[in-house]
């Protein structure tokens, strides 16, 4: 028998395994039908007592009111802590600060602070608003000046598409943490070795804050590959091959998706990772199954 295999954390009993912390990311629904699914998913995931549920902020502040409405209602109705995303692209500092005060006044104490993408697309150069925050590190400092928020920032295991080199990438993350962020949440990645290498680089640079892996279950391979291409996350060949030819086979696609996500999460568990951020795309099923594999169950 292989002894190391026998000692995998993911195979230990619930009493012996570490306490896992999870958070769930949602986007503000655009229609009544989508809003129904949003609340249904929140209703199923909230009993897992996540550290927080976060709601994204649409490009250029397009979801400003909806993000605030959703986080306020999540907190009030489900009892779980809610985090509001915030970007500074295309806005003055005064405008962004007003949103931060709005969050504070609504009792929201967690913010995921981001620069945001240029309106022309992620591949285009970013031009800050002349009176705006120029990047996420400046935004974090601005938020800190307004209130005592718990701030998360973004990290990129495969490098942000606009970072010319790793040194700049890691320096940027360090600036965000030094400005007052408590943790980094990663962009989606599908090859865990990218994440491990990234964490090693960050630790060598003196970053000690948690770097929480952002896990993207593949509800639709076509949709996720397009999204990954836009944000600079690569799809390994082996992964593409697993989904090849499943466009019209939804049941097999769903089973493969859950096997792929389970494999990724359990490998991270066996490497000692205890915190996970799940990109839910407002769906509960796959994420519920993954949480169960961690031993995270409703109260």
Binding site for ligand FAD (CB under 6 A): 56-57, 59, 85, 87, 112, 114-117, 122, 135-137, 154, 160, 162-163, 168-169, 172, 176, 185, 187, 214, 231
* Nearest CB to ligand FAD, comparing residues 110 and 160: 160
Q: Which is nearer to ligand FAD, 231 or 256 (CB)?
A: 231
CB of 130 to ligand FAD, least distance (A): 16
| In the complex, least distance from residue 289 CB atom to ligand FAD, rounded to whole angstroms | 22
Active-site annotation holder among 16, 21, 25, 65:
25
Can you tell me the distance from the alpha carbon of 208 to that of 141, in angstroms, rounded to the nearest whole number? Answer: 19
Nearest-approach distance from CB 8 to ligand FAD, in angstroms: 28
Q: Cα separation of 152 and 211, whole Å?
A: 10
Q: What is the DSSP letter of 30?
A: S
* CA distance between the termini of the chain: 36
- Residue closer to ligand FAD by CB (options 75, 160) is 160
Q: Give the Cα separation of 65 and 67 in Å (integer).
A: 6
For residue 218, the minimal CB distance to ligand FAD (Å) is: 17
Comparison of 230 and 292: residue with beta carbon closer to ligand FAD: 230
Smallest distance, Å, CB 135 to ligand FAD? 3
Backbone angles phi, psi at 113, to 5 degrees: -95, 120
Residue environment code for 252-271, b if the CB has 16+ CB neighbours within 10 A, otherwise e? ebbebbbebbbebbbbbbbe
Nearer to ligand FAD, 112 or 202 (CB): 112
Q: Where are the beta strands (DSSP E) in the chain?
A: 21-26, 52-55, 82-87, 110-114, 150-155, 183-186, 211-212, 214-215, 275-279
Q: How far apart are CA 147 and CA 163, in angstroms?
A: 30
Tokens encoding 120: 């022309």
Active site residue 21: no
Residues known to be catalytic? 25
């Amino acid at each position: 028998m292989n002894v190391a295999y026998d000692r995998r954390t993911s195979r230990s009993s619930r009493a012996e395994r570490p306490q896992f912390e999870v958070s769930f990311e949602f986007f503000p629904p655009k229609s009544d039908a989508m809003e129904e699914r949003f609340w249904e998913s929140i209703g199923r995931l909230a009993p897992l007592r996540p550290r927080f549920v976060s709601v994204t902020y649409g490009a250029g502040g397009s979801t400003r009111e909806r993000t605030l409405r959703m986080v306020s209602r999540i907190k009030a109705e489900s009892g779980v802590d809610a985090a509001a995303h915030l970007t500074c692209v295309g806005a003055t500092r005064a405008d962004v600060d007003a949103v931060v005060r709005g969050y504070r006044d609504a009792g929201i104490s967690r913010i995921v602070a981001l620069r945001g993408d240029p309106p022309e697309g992620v591949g285009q150069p970013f031009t800050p608003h002349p009176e705006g925050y120029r990047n996420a590190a400046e935004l974090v400092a601005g938020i800190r000046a307004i209130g005592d928020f718990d701030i998360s920032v973004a990290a990129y295991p495969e490098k942000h598409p606009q970072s010319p080199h790793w040194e700049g990438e890691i320096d940027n993350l360090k600036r965000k943490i030094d400005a007052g962020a408590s943790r980094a949440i990663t962009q989606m990645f599908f090859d865990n070795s990218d994440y491990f290498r990234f964490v090693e680089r960050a630790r060598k640079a003196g970053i000690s804050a948690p770097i929480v892996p952002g896990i993207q279950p593949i509800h639709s391979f076509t949709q996720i590959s397009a999204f990954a291409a836009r944000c600079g996350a690569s799809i390994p060949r082996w992964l593409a091959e697993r989904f090849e030819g499943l466009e019209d086979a939804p049941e097999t696609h769903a089973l493969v998706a859950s096997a792929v996500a389970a494999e990724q999460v359990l490998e991270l568990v066996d490497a000692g990772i205890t915190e996970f951020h799940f990109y839910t795309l407002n769906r509960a099923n796959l994420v519920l199954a993954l949480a169960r594999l961690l031993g995270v169950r409703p109260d």
